[in-house]
Amino acid sequence: MRHGKKVNHLGRKTAHRKAMLANMACSLIEHKRINTTVAKAKALKQFVEPIVTKSKVDTTHNRRIVFSKLRQKDAVTELFREVATKVGDRPGGYTRIIKLGNRLGDNAEMAMIELVDYNELYNAGKPSKKKSTRRSRRGSGAKAAAPAVQPTATKEEE
């Protein structure tokens, strides 16, 4: 039985795997997209998404948690400054994996993993969507439905 074996070990010991994922995450934050194998990209996605979610709330505690995972001060600074402001309204799904085909040397499946909000090609056709809020039924429902009419100046008034 394989109960509780969700982690892909990627053919590495624990310390090596954690160090590799930390380095790949720092490269992803710095360059906004990286090429790697599909298995590593999927493992990196699971590693990076909670870190980006933590970066949306800039507190000392969250910075320390993220630094313990990434281990690079520059990457943490860029994550909390630039990346967090860009993904602030997104509820999740900060990364995208695009399969690229097989590598020539060993025929490994290759993929590009990128931060979603930094790809201008995919985001160019879509208009920026306003954040919709839920309105309660109580309150000024009739006021909001009726448009405000402003008087216009006519020639007689001039």
- What is the residue-level pLDDT of the chain in tens, covering all 158 positions? 989 998 999 999 999 999 999 999 999 999 999 999 999 999 999 999 999 999 999 999 999 999 999 999 999 999 999 999 999 899 999 999 999 999 999 999 999 999 999 988 877 766 666 556 676 677 665 555 555 556 566 555 55
The answer to whether the Cα torsion of 52, 53, 54, 59 is positive or negative is positive
In a domain, 134, yes or no: no
Q: Is residue 104 part of a domain?
A: yes
Residue 146 lies in a domain: no
Please list the residues that pair with 111 across neighbouring strands: 36, 99
What does the alpha-carbon distance between residue 76 and residue 79 come to, in Å, rounded to a whole number? Answer: 5
With tokens 């074996």, the residue in question is 5
Stated pTM of the model = 0.77
The reply to whether 8 falls in a domain is no
Helices (H), 32-103: 38-55, 60-70, 73-78, 84-86
Distance between CA atoms of 93 and 52, rounded to whole angstroms?
A: 10
Is 144 contained in some domain?
no
Structure tokens at 72: 């690079």
CATH of the domain at 29: 3.90.1030.10
Q: Is there a domain that residue 82 lies in?
A: yes
3-state secondary structure of 99: strand
Question: In this structure, is residue 47 part of a structural domain?
Answer: yes
Instruction: Tally the domains of the chain.
Output: 1
Residue reference for tokens 């509780």 = 4
Domain of 36, in residue numbers: 14-121
The verdict on residue 9 lying in a domain is no
